[in-house]
Amino acid sequence: MSRELSEPLAATAATATTWLLVEQNGPWGAKALGESRLDAAVGRALEAAAAGTGVRVALVRRPGRHADCLPTARHEVIVAHAVPGRSWVRRSAVADPAELLELDFAALGAGDHGGFGVEHVGGPIALVCTNGRRDRCCALLGRPLAAQLAAGGHSEVWEVTHLGGHRFSPTMLVLPYGYAYGRLTAESAKEVLAATAAGHMVPEWSRGRSGWERPGQAAEHAVRVATGETAVDVLTVVQRPAGGGRWLVGVVHEDGRAWEVEVVEGVSEPARPESCGKAAGTPSRMDVAAVRRVA
């Protein structure tokens, strides 16, 4: 229904300055941090520790049916900061995810990894949402995509519990830059990963960069469409509320060009479910009212 109604992808990415991804094999419930083989108390504590810090916690597992049955002796941990110009990815492994509660979540959200783990060396990391307990579309569409990408050797691929925007399945978040994408096919996902490896993003399937709030995502996308710019770290965004569900967003290119983008929050009509099994509603959307070049 979302596709048939031509609901825009832009400015629908989950907002997070930093992602904390914890490997956990086995089945996932709808609220996976408390409904998986991860100790529920630890999952809830991680979620509470991240609240209000800009850190988003999710579980990951390798694609394939084996991921449902293999025990997790040591849990791979990936921490990624997605703010433009300051992106980094660090990784480690822990025997007990409770060890992660010792991290300084406020510092992580602000972009200070505190020496956690080691720097990620290699190409992009693809995170494909596959949690069918959250939304069956993610399992039906996401799991085959993750399996195809993994089998083809296209970057490092993980299944992830929750990226939001289930109606845009299959959805994928790509690190290190933190762009989310939706309505992907195997071919378009491969194009996204190749572009990411070259330091670019692909506007056509982009839902936005998670390091920006949604008005900033909308403004950045509008400038990219207007200019054809796809290099990931050449634009900076500063947004300020203008009242009445409006924002004025300054977008500046590293070459000195600048724009002021007016963004207005609206609703998506007619009503449609935001995910499988939910009642029909009118999801919030960010509409660009004007893009003005400024000195």
Strand partners, 291: 261
pLDDT of residue 275: 84
Read off the pLDDT of each residue in 21-30 and give the average, rounded to a whole number: 94
Average pLDDT in the chain: 94
pLDDT digits over 128-178, tens only? 999 988 888 898 999 999 999 999 887 899 999 999 888 999 999 999 999
d(CA 89, CA 118): 9
The sheet that has 235-241: what strands, in order across it?
Answer: 235-241, 246-253, 258-267, 284-294
Say yes or no to pLDDT of 66 above 60: no
Domain ranges of the chain: 18-197, 212-294
* Lowest-confidence region among 7-16, 43-52, 272-281: 272-281
pLDDT digits over 238-248, tens only? 999 999 999 99
Q: Which of 63-67, 68-72, 148-152, 271-275 is the most confident on average?
A: 148-152
Burial class (CB in 10 A: 0-12, 13-18, 19+), 62: middle
Residue 274: pLDDT band with limits 50, 70, 90: confident
Residue 276: pLDDT band with limits 50, 70, 90: confident
Helices (H), the chain: 40-50, 105-110, 136-137, 143-151, 186-197, 214-227
Say yes or no to pLDDT of 196 above 90: yes
d(CA 176, CA 197): 10
Residue 95: pLDDT band with limits 50, 70, 90: very high
* Lowest-confidence region among 97-101, 222-226, 280-284: 280-284
Say yes or no to pLDDT of 273 above 90: no
d(CA 240, CA 220): 14
Calculate what percentage of the chain has a pLDDT beyond 90. Answer: 81
Token pair of 130 as six digits = 């596959």
pLDDT of residue 154: 75
Q: What are phi and psi of 140, to 5 degrees?
A: -65, -35
Residue pair 229/184 in contact (Cβ under 8 Å)? The answer is no
pLDDT of residue 3: 86
pLDDT of residue 68: 62
* Lowest-confidence region among 12-21, 69-78, 113-122, 227-236: 69-78
Look at strands 246-253 and 125-129 and give their pairing: unpaired
* Lowest-confidence region among 28-32, 187-191, 196-200: 28-32
pLDDT of residue 87: 93
d(CA 80, CA 113): 9
More confident residue, 202 or 137: 202
Residue pair 110/55 in contact (Cβ under 8 Å)? The answer is no
pLDDT of residue 202: 98
pLDDT of residue 70: 66
Residue pair 151/202 in contact (Cβ under 8 Å)? The answer is no
Say yes or no to pLDDT of 54 above 70: yes
Say yes or no to pLDDT of 293 above 60: yes
pLDDT of residue 119: 97
DSSP-derived letter for residue 142 is I
Token pair of 169 as six digits = 């399945």
